[in-house]
Chains A and B, each alone.
Chain A
Amino acid sequence: MRKPLAIFALVSALAGSVWAFQRNIRALFPDTYDDSPPADAAEKTEFYFARLRYPNVRGSGMWWSRGSWTVDYPKADRQFMQGVRRLTRIHANSMERIVDLVSDDIFNYPFVYVVEAGHWDLPDAQARKLREFIDRGGFLMTDDFHGTFEWEVFTASLNKGFGDRPIIDIENADPIFHVLYDLDVRWQVPGIVNYPFQRTYEYDGYEPKWRAIRDDKGRIVVGICHNMDNGDAWEWADSPHYPEKYASQAYRTGINFIIYAMTH
């Protein structure tokens, strides 16, 4: 009897401390964003930030019901687009678009962003459509997944469509790091769960990895940001509690990825 009580007490204590920590983070990073469409959402533009809606792998915790694809949505997308509009000559829309691998609408958006890619579970048909999207000329950017386990979940779905393509590290000299901003020096962009950011990794994802799948011509067609959270950096770039250097790098990385996608 004493043993179960001890376990209960331990779990309660752990849950309580996590709740308290979350409460503390939410106090610093409040979820009060007004997600009504921006005034110029209906403007017809050249570029739209398209976020992929995908089916979750089972056991994805609280995000299982909402869908991991909604993480940081829509604030991250819209704040990032503000930066794209301000910093580049891309005629970009302020509001994101949601695409999936069920309808053909994805083919109208050659740049697609996937958040929490370590939680996706693509059926075969969707994985094949993703490959077709890439083969036609689309570009996929993945972000905000960490450690060995999520990597394996990520590649399990990815390999259904890209089993013939190796995933390789992107060298510093690659144009994707220089197309607009020179990103020779990069650091791990942490999520807000890492507050106060003495530590920047999650799980066993100690080192940030910029990886890619290339096509027959050597062009990057899937840009993989593993062990980092650019989405949080875009989302909280307006927060005094989120370090500017991480937000700045996340913007630069995202802009470089977009311009690369529009030129290669």
Chain B
Amino acid sequence: MFEFFFKYPWEVYRKGTFVLSSGWPLWLLGVCALLVAVLVGWLVLRRPGPNARALAIAGLQWAVLSLLLLMLWQPALSVSSLKPQQNVVSVIVDTSSSMALDNRIGEAKKLLDSGLLDDLKKRFPVRLYQAGRGLERVSATPAQASQPVTNLGEALRSAVAESASLPVGAIVLLTDGADNAGGLDSDTMDAVRRSRIPVHAVGFGPESIRNDVEIIDAELPSRALPDARLAATVSVRQAGFAGRTARISVKDGSKVLATRDVKLPDDGKSLREVIPFSAGAAGAKAMQVSVAAIEGETNPDNNAVTRLVDVRDKKPRILYFEGEPRWETKFIRRAAELDKNIELVSIIRTTQNKFYRQGINDPKELERGFPDSVEELFRYQGLIIGNVEAGYFNSSQQSLIKEFVDRRGGGVLFLGGRAALSDGGWNKAGAAEMLPVILPDRKGTFHRDPATAELTAAGRDSLLTRIEDNPDKNTARWKALPYLADYQEVGAAKPGALVLAEMIVAGRGRSPLLATQSYGRGRVAVFATGGSWRWQMAQDSKDMSHETFWRQMLRWLVSDVNERTTVISEKQVYADESRVPLRADVRDRNYLPAADAVVEAHIMGPGGVSAVVPLLPAKGESGAYVADWKAEAPGSYLAEVVARQGEAELGRDVLTFRREDGVAEHFRTEQNRELLERIAQQSGGRYYKPDQTSALAREIELSEAGISVKETRDIWNAPFAFMLVAGLKAAEWLLRRKWGAV
């Protein structure tokens, strides 16, 4: 219909540029239009008593005359079009296994074989490809979709690369858009844009999931201490089962570590659940997080994901400095003694000149009191500053405490007390900068009066404050805890700090009780009381609230503390991609970046894979060393990175990661229309639904890529132009009849 009125299809108008082909100057057209307006105006105005009707008639007459003038200037469209049979069109069919769902591959084959392919072949030589991990040329339309990977980026890069030797006029991509190889990056899109080859994407598959429950993501810490309390943050989405109950499980092999029954959210919405579990004994573990299949589910293969957790047989040490004997010390020590993977070394000022040391490894340890050297302090991973005034520490020790967090990456906890925090002058100390709260600038902030504790919203989600696994029960348990023996005012939380628990004091309202924040490479917490011992003494001896809280507090202090050599990778699981970037952060004996280290990764993998990979200094980052390695075979890998400086070993670290093939294909199986539209838009192509492809071949003709010609197509003689003139005159005639001769 459009073409009947406008002479050419809409694509020509969309792609073409409007021009006037008569060659006469445009200003002359303007002058003529103005003269016509003056003439018509004069004719109307010279009659007595001009009114609105006369003006309307005059306007119609002026419009007809102006339109005729415009037609004399010969309006046209300038468009580029491909030379027939001289440009190749690449037709790429996604044959990854997600295309087998809902018979998407069958639909694609049917679309191509029922006319689209022939339509294209009439105009262009066509090259047919199938895309999975890479691009492969095929002679017939693919009928099977069984490749474990979709790598659209690789497919597009290869197709574009062919334009170097072939006049590729366009790419037609038939896919569901599910790229699970992480290959469609900005570099790929830049390459496609530079080639100026339009990519026309035909999308298959439903745009939302149907009758399915899927684990979108599961976040687990990659490293943990033995028996650590960990949390799996699981995101689940569903369609068709809103309100039904599903069971989420965390397993180590066949051993179920935790389960949680959840009520499924509304269609299209996702659910986020934090499930605590115990890390168990030391070792590299493949934890499976799954949601039990529901009857009638269309895709049970996306109900489980695997995550690696490296449970390390380490025993971090925490130094606890206490300014005077008090009950908190005893009960913190007792809680720590229940944790065989934490060593709590305490030093207590019993008299003005005497210390009592507990948990020391040898008689010389802490013999002179609080450490005053990097070597002595940085051997610990965590630090607790109890009821001791800032002035007790000399300036060097105060700097060390800050460096302990900032440079060494340790965790520090400040407790409340009559000589702690503001009452101990910490508000004026350098360390105040790293505290998560703005300490009041006054004394008298410590009170030996009752205060009750309550979790904040952040505390509900935090593992640090998790006494009960169930979040609601945990919140209620905190509310039911006995009152604290004392409390300290600590001021407001700093921006970026996390207040996990508040204290409620009669007549004073709420204020932060437990606040945390990151500082430099480490972390800092303030627990504004020295009276949590009542949680132990005022509850049944079998109640473990106090012990659980303090064990988690101590583990929080040291759980993410980096040693002198730390190796990381971007992901825990490399799904359908083999490139594994490794990065090591290497520090010298003083925990300063080591720029002259020799760093090597010894990698072991499935089937006897063994490799030594050198890590080279990263540009512009002192102490950082990087390498890219290809993990070809699926399975679990272990990389031990060793850093040396001369003959001396600076440190070593172990990284575990996993390669999976064909698993990601089962996730996010609905059509990724957003991605396809983005590809099409950025390349100059279009997105099509399968039933809208009738104009595809014509659209391709108007491409500027390949061998094309520029042509001018007149539109002044399009039927619509004459119909417009006739319409305007008919309107004038009708108005004259209605109003009488004007």
**Given the interface contacts A108-B537, A136-B536, does A44 sit within 8 Å of B448 by beta carbon?**
yes
Q: Which of A104, A137, A180 contacts B354 (CB 8 A)?
A: A180
Cβ–Cβ contact A263 & B330, under 8 A: yes
B331 within 8 A of A: yes
Cβ–Cβ contact A88 & B334, under 8 A: no
Cβ–Cβ contact A110 & B327, under 8 A: yes
Taking the nearest CB of chain B, how far is it from the CB of A107, in angstroms? 5
Q: How many A residues face the partner with a CB closer than 8 A?
A: 27
Taking the nearest CB of chain B, how far is it from the CB of A174, in angstroms? 14
Which B residue sits closest to A137, measured CB to CB? B536
**Which A residues lie within 8 Å of B323 (CB)?**
89
**Which B residues lie within 8 Å of A108 (CB)?**
534, 537-538
**Which B residues lie within 8 Å of A228 (CB)?**
none
B-contact bits for A230-264, CB 8 A (1 contact / 0 none): 00000000000000000000000000001101111
Q: In the bound complex, how far is the Cα of B325 from the Cα of A91, in angstroms? A: 8
Cβ–Cβ contact B537 & A263, under 8 A: no
Which B residue sits closest to A264, measured CB to CB? B330
Which among B149-157, B161-169, B345-353, B563-571 touches the partner chain? B345-353
**Which A residues lie within 8 Å of B530 (CB)?**
46
Cβ–Cβ contact B329 & A263, under 8 A: yes
Cβ–Cβ contact B324 & A180, under 8 A: no
Q: Which of A89, A135, A180, A262 contacts B327 (CB 8 A)?
A: A262
**Which B residues lie within 8 Å of A44 (CB)?**
448-449
Q: Which of A138, A179, A264 contacts B537 (CB 8 A)?
A: A138
Cβ–Cβ contact B537 & A88, under 8 A: no
Q: Which of A91, A135, A180, A217 contacts B326 (CB 8 A)?
A: A91
Q: In the bound complex, how far is the Cα of B356 from the Cα of A79, in angstroms? A: 25
Q: In the bound complex, how far is the Cα of B449 from the Cα of A88, in angstroms? A: 24
Q: In the bound complex, how far is the Cα of B602 from the Cα of A84, in angstroms? A: 60
**Given the interface contacts A44-B449, A179-B356, does A137 sit within 8 Å of B330 by beta carbon?**
yes
Cβ–Cβ contact B448 & A263, under 8 A: no
**Which B residues lie within 8 Å of A264 (CB)?**
330, 333
B645 within 8 A of A: no
A45 within 8 A of B: yes
Which B residue sits closest to A104, measured CB to CB? B538
**Which B residues lie within 8 Å of A138 (CB)?**
537
**Given the interface contacts A44-B448, A89-B352, A264-B333, does A136 sit within 8 Å of B326 by beta carbon?**
no
B658 within 8 A of A: no
Q: In the bound complex, how far is the Cα of B325 from the Cα of A89, in angstroms? A: 7
**Which A residues lie within 8 Å of B449 (CB)?**
44
Cβ–Cβ contact A136 & B348, under 8 A: no
A156 within 8 A of B: no
A71 within 8 A of B: no
Taking the nearest CB of chain B, how far is it from the CB of A162, in angstroms? 14
Cβ–Cβ contact A46 & B326, under 8 A: yes
A11 within 8 A of B: no
Q: In the bound complex, how far is the Cα of B329 from the Cα of A100, in angstroms? A: 25
A132 within 8 A of B: yes
A76 within 8 A of B: no
Cβ–Cβ contact B325 & A262, under 8 A: yes
Cβ–Cβ contact B533 & A217, under 8 A: no
Q: In the bound complex, how far is the Cα of B349 from the Cα of A91, in angstroms? A: 12
A87 within 8 A of B: yes
Which A residue sits closest to B350, measured CB to CB? A180
Q: In the bound complex, how far is the Cα of B354 from the Cα of A52, in angstroms? A: 31
Q: Which of A89, A104, A110 contacts B533 (CB 8 A)?
A: A110
Q: Which of A104, A107, A132, A259 contacts B325 (CB 8 A)?
A: A259
Which residues, 374 to 405 on B, are CB-close (under 8 Å) to A?
none
Q: In the bound complex, how far is the Cα of B538 from the Cα of A132, in angstroms? A: 11
Which residues, 7 to 56 on A, are CB-close (under 8 Å) to B?
44-47
Cβ–Cβ contact B541 & A132, under 8 A: yes
Q: Which of A88, A91, A262 contacts B329 (CB 8 A)?
A: A262
A167 within 8 A of B: no
**Given the interface contacts A44-B448, A110-B327, A132-B541, does A263 sit within 8 Å of B348 by beta carbon?**
yes
A-contact bits for B540-564, CB 8 A (1 contact / 0 none): 1100000000000000000000000
Residue among A45, A90, A137, A262 with most chain B CB within 10 A: A262
**Which B residues lie within 8 Å of A46 (CB)?**
324, 326-327, 448, 530
Residue among A44, A104, A136, A264 with most chain B CB within 10 A: A136
Taking the nearest CB of chain B, how far is it from the CB of A51, in angstroms? 18
Q: In the bound complex, how far is the Cα of B447 from the Cα of A46, in angstroms? A: 11
**Which B residues lie within 8 Å of A180 (CB)?**
350-351, 354, 356
Cβ–Cβ contact A179 & B324, under 8 A: no
Cβ–Cβ contact A137 & B334, under 8 A: yes
Q: In the bound complex, how far is the Cα of B204 from the Cα of A191, in angstroms? A: 98
Q: In the bound complex, how far is the Cα of B352 from the Cα of A264, in angstroms? A: 21
Q: In the bound complex, how far is the Cα of B538 from the Cα of A112, in angstroms? A: 15
Taking the nearest CB of chain A, how far is it from the CB of B389, in angstroms? 12
B107 within 8 A of A: no
**Given the interface contacts A110-B533, A132-B541, A138-B537, does A89 sit within 8 Å of B330 by beta carbon?**
no
Taking the nearest CB of chain A, how far is it from the CB of B162, in angstroms? 74
B632 within 8 A of A: no
Cβ–Cβ contact B539 & A89, under 8 A: no
Which residues, 196 to 240 on A, are CB-close (under 8 Å) to B?
217
Q: In the bound complex, how far is the Cα of B323 from the Cα of A223, in angstroms? A: 25
Cβ–Cβ contact B351 & A89, under 8 A: yes
B337 within 8 A of A: yes
Which residues, 41 to 83 on A, are CB-close (under 8 Å) to B?
44-47
Cβ–Cβ contact A110 & B351, under 8 A: no
Q: In the bound complex, how far is the Cα of B534 from the Cα of A108, in angstroms? A: 7
Q: In the bound complex, how far is the Cα of B326 from the Cα of A47, in angstroms? A: 8
Which A residue sits closest to B546, measured CB to CB? A137
B358 within 8 A of A: yes
A-contact bits for B310-349, CB 8 A (1 contact / 0 none): 0000000000000111110111011001000000001011
Taking the nearest CB of chain A, how far is it from the CB of B325, in angstroms? 4
Q: In the bound complex, how far is the Cα of B349 from the Cα of A264, in angstroms? A: 15
Taking the nearest CB of chain B, how far is it from the CB of A254, in angstroms? 13
Q: Which of B333, B350, B352, B538 contacts A107 (CB 8 A)?
A: B538
Q: Which of B351, B356, B533, B536 contacts A263 (CB 8 A)?
A: B356
Residue among B327, B329, B333, B533 with most chain A CB within 10 A: B327
Cβ–Cβ contact A107 & B354, under 8 A: no
**Which A residues lie within 8 Å of B538 (CB)?**
104, 107-108
Which A residue sits closest to B331, measured CB to CB? A137
**Which A residues lie within 8 Å of B334 (CB)?**
137, 217
**Which B residues lie within 8 Å of A90 (CB)?**
324-326
Smallest CB-CB A-B distances: 6 pairs? A44-B448, A135-B541, A89-B324, A262-B325, A136-B541, A107-B537
6 pairs of residues in contact across A and B, judged by CB atoms under 8 Å:
A91-B326, A91-B418, A179-B350, A263-B329, A263-B358, A264-B333
Residues of B whose CB lies within 8 Å of any CB of A are: 323-327, 329-331, 333-334, 337, 346, 348-352, 354, 356, 358, 418, 448-449, 530, 533-534, 536-541
Residues of A whose CB lies within 8 Å of any CB of B are: 44-47, 87-91, 104, 107-108, 110, 132, 135-138, 179-180, 217, 258-259, 261-264
Q: A46-B530, A91-B418, A108-B537 are in contact. List 11 more A-B contacts (CB 8 A).
A: A46-B448, A107-B537, A110-B327, A110-B537, A136-B541, A137-B330, A259-B356, A262-B325, A262-B329, A263-B329, A263-B356
